[in-house]
Amino acid sequence: MPLLQERLRDIDRREGPDKKNGETQDAGRASVPPGLDPLFESLAGVAGAVGSSHFYEAAADCVTRALHSDRALVIRYAKFSKPEFLVNTSMTDEAVENYLARYYRIDPLLRMVRTGVEQNVLTFDQLRQSGADTLYYEGMYQTAEILDELVILLPTTGGIWTAICVDRADTLFSPREIATAAQLFPLLNNLHALHVDRCVFGWRGGYLDDSQIAFMMIDTQGQIAFRNALWESRVSKAREKEIRALSGDRAEGFEALEDDLIVHWETLDQQNAVAPGGRAYLLEEASPSYVDLSETELVEQFANRHALTPRETEIVGYILKGVPPALIAETMGLTAGTIRNHKHRLYYKLDITTERELFCMFFELIIANR
């Protein structure tokens, strides 16, 4: 008995008093670390929005809370059509217009989606430091007033990817914040997959009904498992029969149709909740793809078009990379005054007065590379 009493006293010392002011206390329960309560609340919001039209807003809210930001985008990327904005609390209407008119064609995320995604969580500062797609950062980010952007890429059937993007104007994302996003990815990815499944089943909404992409799924017996609203309104029975005949026995592929339409298809895996082992068909309007030219090639084309001298060409290249005038002068072994004179003559030749106009002219060249 004395041994038992001593053991009970040890337990009391560890757990503390179990009553205070007549109320039962659970002193042994660990408290939630500061800052996690809002995150749990936002994750509950994402789970509650599964299958609804508010899902992407809830997902963006969750990521912005986790990263202590208030600027977010959710963009849908596809194999052939232009990107689509699903949520936007960051970019101005002008920036969105510029992106859809010009900058999407050098968007590194579009390039990844169409050539192969290797990372599901990344920042644009990481890509910038790698030396890739510098022109995109300097051109697009100057317009949108963005310093850094963290991206979580969520895969979907048919080569469609949904990017949740959180950006900042003044600071870079820290390694700890990037690690937080990486920890969120598996949960968000699974909730997103469940969202797509519920939409396809039609429980609370139609998948891709907010999209420019027509979408159909068939089972292994060739029976229709799902059509979104655009497929039903745009694809006649005769056209659907033609599309099925084009795909034949090929597991995946694409074919160009008339009217700048492209149909592509893929075989669904056996874990697909709607049509395991079946097939997904997507009909998209073809848009100019990402510009598959190097930065140097684009600058050379620009120089040839406007009859620039070798020195003017070199200066344009530095400006488009965002190199400040003092560093341009140091790199070229010239004085700052000489660089200013070259820029003045360059702007006079191009009939412009600002770097912004230079970027606009440059991206007109990108649009010409169709």
Find, among 72, 58, 67, the residue nearest to 164 by Cα. Answer: 72
Q: How many CA atoms lie within 13 A of 182 on its CB side?
A: 11
What pLDDT is attached to residue 25? 43
Please tell me the CATH code under which domain 37-201 is placed. 3.30.450.80
Q: 104 Cβ partners below 8 Å, 6+ apart?
A: 82, 83, 110, 290
> What residues are paired with 264 via a beta bridge?
254, 282
Q: How many CB atoms lie within 10 A of CB 277?
A: 12
CB 216 within 8 A of CB 281: yes
H helices then E strands: how many in the chain?
A: 15, 12
* pLDDT value of residue 205: 47
**pLDDT attached to residue 369:** 57
Cα dist from 175 to 72, 123, 150, 233, whole Å: 19, 10, 11, 47
DSSP per-residue string spanning 155-222: EEGGGEEEEEEEEESS-PPPHHHHHHHHHHHHHHHHHHHHHHHHHHHTSSS-TTTTSS-EEEEE-TTS
Q: What type of residue sits at position 222?
A: G
The pLDDT score that the predictor gives to residue 229 is 87
- Residue by residue, pLDDT tens for the chain (370 residues) are 444 455 445 545 544 544 444 444 444 444 555 556 778 889 999 999 998 889 999 999 999 999 998 899 999 999 999 999 999 998 889 888 888 887 788 788 888 898 889 899 999 888 777 665 555 555 556 555 677 899 999 999 889 999 999 988 888 999 999 999 999 999 999 999 999 888 877 644 456 777 889 999 999 999 998 888 899 998 999 999 999 999 998 999 999 988 789 999 999 989 887 889 999 999 999 887 776 666 788 888 889 999 999 999 999 888 877 788 889 999 999 998 999 999 999 999 999 998 878 877 887 776 665 4
| CATH top-level class of 295-368 | mainly alpha
- Please give the pLDDT value at position 141: 62
Report the amino acid identity of residue 314: E
d(CA 109, CA 76) in angstroms, rounded, equals 10
Rg of the chain in Å (alpha carbons): 27
Residue 91 near residue 99 (C-beta atoms within 8 A): yes
Q: What 3-state DSSP class applies to 354?
A: coil
Structure tokens at 251: 């597991």
Rounded distance between C-alpha atoms, residue 128 and residue 321, angstroms? 10
What pairs with residue 163 in β-bridges?
A: 75, 153
Distance of CA 87 to the CA centre of its chain: 11
User: Other C-beta atoms within 10 Å of 296: how many?
Assistant: 9
What residue spans define the domains of the chain? 37-201, 214-285, 295-368
C-alpha angle 360-362-367 in degrees, rounded to nearest 5: 90
